[in-house]
Amino acid sequence: MSSVVVVGLQWGDEGKGKITDFLASRADMVVRYQGGNNAGHTVVVGDDEFKLHLIPSGVLYPGIKCILGNGVVVNPAVLLQEMADLKKRGIDISGIRISDRAHLVMPYHPMLDQLDESSRTVGKIGTTGRGIGPAYVDKYARYDAIRFVDLLDPAFFKERIAEVMAIKNNLLDKLYGHEGFDFSRIYKEYAKYAEELRPLVTDTSVLVNAAIKQGQKVLFEGAQGTLLDIDHGTFPFVSSSSSAAGGACTGSGVGPTKIDKVVGVIKAYSTRVGEGPFPTELPENMVSLLRDGRGREYGVTTGRPRRCGWFDGVLAEYSVRVNGVSDLVVMKLDVLDKIETIKICTSYQYRNTFLKEFPASLKVLAECTPVYEEMPGWRTDTTAIQEFKDLPVQAQNYLKRIAELADAPIAMISVGWRRNETIINHNIW
Ligand code: IMP
């Protein structure tokens, strides 16, 4: 197996960081293909915890190549800070490369993101405020976008940002009465980033395709999750990029014929941050069952408490389908260890009908009531268990039901945040 995409199947925060890190231990290259520093991946190595926002989780393995593909929007200040922090902690960062076609997050992007959100009384998306949406708006609108290839051409970049900043400052003033940004300060700041990052910027599609051709193991690391995908997610309460598996191709310059497997990462229950309907959400008086204790369901990027709920089989089937998932990885099974009765959603009731397929309309979704099956909990600590057959039978049955509803086989089960707290049913590589 040479190329594997890892993708989240819910609303992000499925624990992809741990699995990417696990699979990266045997990979030669890890590729981020979308999103930006709105993502937050936590990886635990021994007693050390690493929180990564832009750099692929694979960076923790010395000598591995880490690619930020063309589909990523990169805030260079955040990237350089993340690189400096990793270096200080003794991590080898020499394998990082950035696509010359990747777009830049400029200082006005987070500002526009935050001002836009705070100015709305209705229809807030609950963004991370990192400027990801406005950066993709510029990309797709085309007029004001700036790519790495532009950053590295000093004369062109100066001209370009003078033009674009005049437009953005005007917009900030007219829409929000904001004073805007000082051109010479931003130019100097970005000219410095350009020189620091110049050696890392290249046509990364050449690198990724060459690695695949040579039979190297390439891991495509999706950020956020399928329900936050701009096309397949719970629109408009989504992020602005293609986080589903298809994005791995467009976001890295690799054709679909080159992808061997799609690994879908799904939590044994559901969580979501930000706004939007969430059919299996637990009421506030029950949420600590999953959020606190081993769940630790607080955002890595913003620290916001996550909304939590039961496993949703309708959503799982949808996500497996739109991603073409070949292997499932079920995360955080241990969070359910103490629960007496576990609920699992098998369909939605919408008015007088039952839905087996995840609806496109959020109005319909908001009116759906989950139809639950109740399954007995196992009330046993599973964190030390290394094989599926050693799991309590109730846990085995719960996992079998997940695989059945999602319609994909389970390759791995995570029973704790440490690297070795993982059950392997079959090898992914
Ligand atoms: P944005 O990506 O900052 O524009 O935020 C859009 C929506 O996606 C919000 O609901 C965020 O909370 C959510 N979101 C963005 N990135 C992540 C992530 O990495 N994990 C979970 N939710 C995310």
- Which residue puts its alpha carbon closest to atom 12 of ligand 1? 274
Please write the tens of the pLDDT for every residue from 328-350: 999 999 999 999 999 999 999 99
| Residue 246 pLDDT exceeds 80 | yes
Ligand 1 centroid distance, CA of 127 (Å): 6
Angle between helices 108-119 and 154-176 in degrees, nearest 10: 20
User: What pLDDT was estimated at residue 45?
Assistant: 81
Which atom of ligand 1 is the closest one to the Cα of 130? 3
Where does ligand 1 bind, in terms of residues with CB under 6 Å? 11-13, 38-40, 125-128, 130, 132-133, 223-224, 228, 237, 239-240, 273-274
* Whether residue 41 lies in the annotated active site: yes
Global model pTM greater than 0.85: yes
User: What pLDDT was estimated at residue 291?
Assistant: 94
Please write the tens of the pLDDT for every residue from 117-167: 999 988 899 999 999 999 999 999 999 999 999 999 999 999 999 999 999
User: What pLDDT was estimated at residue 263?
Assistant: 98
| Mean pLDDT of the residues in the chain | 95
**% residues pLDDT > 90 (the chain):** 88
Q: Say if residues 64 and 24 touch (Cβ distance below 8 Å).
A: yes
**% residues pLDDT > 70 (the chain):** 100
SS3 111: helix
| Residue 301 pLDDT exceeds 80 | no
If one compares 367 and 49, the residue with the highest pLDDT of the two is 367
How many residues in total does the chain contain?
429
Token pair for residue 74?
A: 């990169």
| Residue 222 pLDDT exceeds 90 | yes
Q: What DSSP letter does each residue of 127-192 carry, written as one string?
A: --SSSHHHHHHHHHH-TT--BHHHHTSHHHHHHHHHHHHHHHHHHHHHHH------HHHHHHHHHH
- Give me the residues paired with residue 67 across strands: 31, 97
Selected catalytic residue, list 13, 113, 327, 337: 13
User: What pLDDT was estimated at residue 48?
Assistant: 87
Please write the tens of the pLDDT for every residue from 182-220: 999 999 999 999 999 999 999 999 999 999 999 999 999
Q: How many CB atoms lie within 10 A of CB 416?
A: 20
Ligand 1 centroid distance, CA of 95 (Å): 27
Which atom of ligand 1 is the closest one to the Cα of 274? 10
Angle 279-285-288 from CA coordinates, rounded to 5°:
85
Region 75-95: mean pLDDT is 96
Domains and CATH numbers, the chain: 3-90+203-424 (3.90.170.10), 103-200 (1.10.300.10)
- Which residue puts its alpha carbon closest to atom 21 of ligand 1? 12
Ligand 1 centroid distance, CA of 38 (Å): 6
Please write the tens of the pLDDT for every residue from 357-391: 999 999 999 999 999 999 999 999 999 999 999 99
Token pair for residue 283?
A: 């009421």
Confidence of residue 42 (pLDDT cuts 50, 70, 90): confident
CB-count burial class (<10 Å; 0-12, 13-18, 19+) for 306: buried
Region 91-108: mean pLDDT is 97
Token pair for residue 157?
A: 């970049």
Sheet holding 410-414, edge to edge: 201-202, 96-99, 65-68, 29-32, 218-221, 3-8, 261-267, 327-331, 410-414, 422-424
- Give me the residues paired with residue 103 across strands: 73, 147
Cα–Cα distance measured from residue 163 to residue 187, given in angstroms and rounded to the nearest whole number: 12
Region 35-52: mean pLDDT is 87
User: What pLDDT was estimated at residue 178?
Assistant: 97
Which atom of ligand 1 is the closest one to the Cα of 39? 19
Pocket test for ligand 1, best of 224, 226, 265, 297 (most atoms within 8 A of CB): 224
Selected catalytic residue, list 41, 53, 109, 232: 41
Confidence of residue 84 (pLDDT cuts 50, 70, 90): very high
User: What pLDDT was estimated at residue 85?
Assistant: 94
Confidence of residue 47 (pLDDT cuts 50, 70, 90): confident
Backbone angles phi, psi at 53, to 5 degrees: -115, -40
- Give me the residues paired with residue 347 across strands: 371
Ligand 1 centroid distance, CA of 274 (Å): 7
| Residue 1 pLDDT exceeds 80 | no
Q: Say if residues 418 and 424 touch (Cβ distance below 8 Å).
A: no
Ligand 1 centroid distance, CA of 40 (Å): 10
Please write the tens of the pLDDT for every residue from 384-418: 999 999 999 999 999 999 999 999 999 999 999 88
Pocket test for ligand 1, best of 34, 37, 38 (most atoms within 8 A of CB): 38
Q: Say if residues 403 and 316 touch (Cβ distance below 8 Å).
A: no
